């Protein structure tokens, strides 16, 4: 599930939970006011993002007062975004990811050793 910048702003507000009630919900009108105050988003833009998030299954809506609730966590969204980026930009290869980042920056001996230790800490895939 790829989220746009605006959709992520909405989700960040929901994940922070400061605007949610005791049931982890908020009315759409109240959320749009919160987002206008926090990010300067207009009401129409907010409702567009709400609709997209509903279609993507990131939030639920309950009537009669158009009450919204997040149903994916920040961690789930991050994992999905990472997987999509790796598939799209690096042909699904973690080797390509590492090569792209390591080509662009200098790595200290300590960092290199940490990477080796990290790799060694993973179980070897058996064939």
Taking only the tens place, the pLDDT of each residue in 73-107 is: 989 888 888 888 888 888 888 888 888 888 878 88
Q: Is residue 55 part of a domain?
A: yes
pLDDT value, residue 89: 87
22 secondary structure, DSSP code? T
Q: Is residue 79 part of a domain?
A: yes
**Calpha distance 46→48 (Å, rounded):** 5
Which range marks the domain in which residue 93 is found?
75-121
pLDDT value, residue 72: 92
Beta strand pairing status for 67-70 and 59-62?
A: antiparallel
Task: Give phi and psi for 75, each to the nearest 5.
Answer: -65, -40
Q: Are residues 81 and 33 in the same domain?
A: no
* Residue 126, pLDDT above cutoff 60: no
């Amino acid at each position: 599930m790829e989220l746009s910048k605006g959709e992520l702003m909405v989700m960040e507000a929901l994940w922070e939970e400061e605007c949610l009630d005791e049931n982890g919900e908020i009315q759409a009108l109240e959320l749009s006011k919160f987002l206008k105050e926090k990010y300067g988003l207009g009401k129409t833009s907010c409702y567009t993002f709400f609709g997209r998030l509903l279609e993507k299954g990131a939030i639920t809506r309950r009537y009669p007062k158009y009450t919204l609730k997040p149903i994916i966590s920040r961690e789930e969204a991050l994992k999905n975004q990472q997987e999509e980026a790796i598939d799209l930009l690096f042909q699904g290869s973690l080797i390509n990811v590492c090569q792209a980042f390591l080509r662009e920056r200098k790595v200290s001996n300590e960092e290199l050793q940490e990477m080796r230790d990290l790799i060694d800490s993973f179980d070897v895939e058996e064939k």
